[in-house]
Amino acid sequence: MKFVKLLNYMEKAFKNAPAYLILMSDDKVYFSCACQFVEATVENFNMLAKVFPLNPELKEIFNSWIQPENYQDIDINTLTNLNGMFRQSPITEFNEDISNVVNIDFMFTGSNIKSITSDLTNIVSAKSSFSACKQLKEFNQDMPKLYYGQSMFSSCKMLHTVNSNMSNLKFSVEMFRDDIYLTTANITHNSHHDYDMYKNTPIEDTLNEN
């Protein structure tokens, strides 16, 4: 499944996380916010309002979003923060221009992403951005400005190879933790906060042997 269009966006919604209204390639519109990626229906909004204590103003805004007359066509490259955009979503590939984006924390956490070919050279923060991904096998994108990479790929189900220039990386705690198939990680980095970076991976075993 692919991303098609961003129809609405609020940078600080529930617990200061962004909220999104997204058209996907299955021709359905989805609401994404606070670890939820659900079809944008009145019933789902009412369910979310029970689970998460949304204030009345926020609930009213979200309910207005799902009316087609309120749809927008937002260029995501005009945004800088895509925190959690596709968290727990069925997305499988992503190739949009996000060259102006700096924050992709939790962007694909728990998703079905298989490939990403977008320009990530300006990303500064990618905490848990691919953690618990179910189908990601390889990552070959340079991220020379990345500074925060904590738990970036942790608990990926199938990840085995990562090649990336992360020369500005300073925080990499648990970056690959529990990636049980990870055998290749060619990374240029300068991290001084790398506790458990390769915890519970084949690479940790190799490091211990040496």
In terms of pLDDT, which residue wins out, 104 or 188? 104
Whether the predicted model's global pTM rises above the 0.85 cut: yes
pLDDT at residue 50, rounded to an integer = 76
Structure tokens at 155: 């608990």
Convert the pLDDT of each residue in 150-164 to its tens digit. 999 999 999 999 999
CA atoms of 122 and 103, how far apart (whole Å): 9
Given a cut of 70, is residue 207 above it in pLDDT? Answer: no
**Distances in Å between the alpha carbon of 26 and those of 39, 66, 82, 109?**
11, 17, 21, 20
In terms of pLDDT, which residue wins out, 181 or 43? 181
Taking every pair of Cα atoms in the chain, the longest distance, rounded to a whole number of angstroms, is 62
64 by Cβ neighbours in 10 Å (0-12 / 13-18 / 19+) ranks as exposed
Spatial CA neighbour of 154 closest among 107, 201, 88: 201
Convert the pLDDT of each residue in 83-106 to its tens digit. 999 999 999 999 999 999 999 999
**Percent of the chain whose pLDDT exceeds 90:** 75
pLDDT at residue 63, rounded to an integer = 82
pLDDT at residue 205, rounded to an integer = 60
What value does the mean pLDDT of the chain take?
Answer: 91
Structure tokens at 74: 């937002």
Given a cut of 90, is residue 16 above it in pLDDT? Answer: no
Domain boundaries, the chain: 1-74, 77-210
Convert the pLDDT of each residue in 27-63 to its tens digit. 999 999 867 899 998 888 878 777 777 677 777 888 8
Given a cut of 80, is residue 208 above it in pLDDT? Answer: no
Given a cut of 70, is residue 210 above it in pLDDT? Answer: no
Contact 18, 82 (CB under 8 A): yes
pLDDT at residue 146, rounded to an integer = 97
3-state secondary structure 122-147: CCCECCCCCCCCCCCCEECCCCCCCC
Given a cut of 60, is residue 135 above it in pLDDT? Answer: yes
